Every structure is written in structure tokens, then in C-alpha cells.
Amino acid sequence: MTFIQYAAIAFALAGQQICETLGMTALFPPTLWPQLAEKRFSIVIGAFFFGNTIINSMVSTGAFEVLYGPEVIFSKIDTGRMPRMDELLMTVQEVITAAAAATQ
């Protein structure tokens, strides 16, 4: 499962508590929480199945690219493989650092 799926499930199960802990309750209308509680099961199932459908379609087409602005940081089509998480994080950090240095 992806980060977005985990985030949707966490928000469905404990969104109000998470927002209260982070001090973000003003960002959401108070009527959201009862509606969220009523549809909790549907949101969890939807995040799981819809997320997996998207992931499977992306994997089967080979469409995986990471971009920073117009710059391609990683392309599965070019390399023929998926990136490792540590490799991807290191590359993204290098690109962001270089971009920040270029603007100074």
C-alpha cells in the first residue's frame, strides 16, 4: 500500500483526533467529522481497492517518473527498473539542494 492509501485510511479512522493533535481543526468544517464517522468503512475499502487499481495500472504500463519542475529525476522507462526508496530520497535531496543553491 502507498503513503496516500495509508493517509486516507488513517484520516478515516482517526482524522478528528489527528487534526486536534496537530492543531489543524480550523481547516475542516465541524460537520465533516460525523459524516466521516458514518462513511468510515466505505472510505477504508475505497482507499484500498481504488488505490490498488491505480497502482496496478501504473505498474503494468511502466509509467513511473519522478519530476522536480521540468527535470526528470527518475524514469522507469529509461532505467528499466523501479527505484529503491533510499536511492530516490537521496536523488530528490540532491536536486532540491542544487536548486536552492542556484537561487541564492
Between CA 25 and CA 55 the distance in angstroms is 31
Helices (H) and strands (E) in the chain, counts: 5, 2
Per-residue pLDDT of the chain (104 residues; tens, 9 = 90+): 578 888 888 888 888 888 888 888 788 888 888 888 898 999 899 888 888 888 787 777 767 888 888 888 888 888 888 888 888 889 889 988 888 888 87
CB atoms within 10 A of CB 10: 14
Between CA 12 and CA 18 the distance in angstroms is 10
Closest CA to 84 of 94, 93, 74: 74
Closest CA to 77 of 69, 67, 87: 67
Residue 99, H or E segment: helix 85-103
Say what the pTM is.
Answer: 0.48
